[in-house]
């Protein structure tokens, strides 16, 4: 049986403002983790994305992205409902496929490995600088862990994820630590591909400490860009 440890997470609303996701927490409007990641992407990563869009075509690229986003939302809801012991049924074709993906994730990543839940889809914020919502925080494999569920079209390689998934988890860990004073030494990405292959990438030790440092550098870069834009607009 999975235990639950309660934390006083804030409530929040989120909205798109000028193309950026913004959270309203404790009367503050804060940029999301994904907003900061996108705004501070390297030129190399943007070039790779642009090349892919040109190769598959803009319309097809949007379709691939939207399909993955919808499938991912259903997957998240199924896993969340499983952890919180809430029933969920989606009879659409995509919903049925997402259920198959979720079953693999639950069997591989949750059952027999998650012993205590500290938060499911909790809102988190850090010192008035950023906010976000992670999938799961709790005791996983006997360690305090921040977890993120992902769906993918194809399998990933760990080295592809250093500049995205790794520091996204670090951002959520830092926010939780700042809010509740509990150190999170470990982050894990659970990934299921659309052809039902499971992958898991764990970040801990020096690798995760470096991720937290790298994330704070990205936050600093983001606010420098914001300040530069405001000065140019004057």
What integer pLDDT is reported at residue 200 of this predicted model?
A: 97
All structural domains of the chain with their residue ranges: 41-233
- Whether residue 152 is predicted with pLDDT greater than 80 in this model: the reply is yes
- Whether residue 102 is predicted with pLDDT greater than 80 in this model: the reply is yes
What integer pLDDT is reported at residue 158 of this predicted model?
A: 93
- Whether residue 216 is predicted with pLDDT greater than 90 in this model: the reply is yes
CATH number of 41-233: 3.90.320
Q: How far apart are CA 31 and CA 125, in angstroms?
A: 10
- Whether residue 233 is predicted with pLDDT greater than 70 in this model: the reply is no
The SS3 assignment for 188 reads strand
* Highest mean pLDDT, choosing among 9-18, 88-97, 196-205: 196-205
Q: Which of 49-53, 143-147, 219-223 comes out lowest in average pLDDT?
A: 49-53
Q: How far apart are CA 188 and CA 166, in angstroms?
A: 8
- Whether residue 220 is predicted with pLDDT greater than 80 in this model: the reply is yes
Give the position of tokens 């990563």: 45
């Amino acid at each position: 049986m999975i235990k639950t440890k309660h934390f006083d997470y804030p409530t929040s609303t989120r909205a798109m403002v000028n193309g950026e996701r913004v959270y309203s927490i404790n009367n503050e409007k804060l940029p999301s983790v994904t907003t900061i990641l996108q705004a501070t992407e390297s030129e190399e990563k943007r070039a790779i994305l642009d090349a892919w869009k040109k190769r598959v075509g803009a319309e097809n690229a949007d379709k691939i992205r939207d399909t993955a986003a919808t499938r991912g939302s259903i997957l998240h809801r199924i896993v969340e409902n499983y952890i919180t012991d809430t029933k969920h049924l989606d009879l659409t074709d995509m919903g049925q496929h997402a259920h198959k993906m979720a079953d693999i994730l639950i069997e591989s990543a949750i059952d027999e490995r998650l012993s205590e839940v500290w938060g499911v889809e909790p809102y988190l914020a850090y010192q008035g600088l950023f906010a976000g919502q992670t999938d799961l925080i709790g005791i996983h494999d006997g360690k305090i862990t921040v977890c993120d569920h992902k769906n993918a079209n194809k399998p990933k390689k760990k080295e592809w994820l250093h500049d995205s998934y790794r520091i996204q988890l670090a951002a959520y860990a830092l926010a939780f630590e700042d809010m509740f004073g509990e150190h999170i030494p470990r982050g894990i990405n659970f990934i299921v591909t659309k052809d039902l292959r499971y992958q898991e990438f764990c970040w801990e030790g020096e690798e995760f400490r470096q991720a937290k440092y790298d994330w704070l550098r990205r936050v600093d870069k983001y606010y420098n860009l914001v300040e530069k834009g405001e000065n140019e607009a004057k």
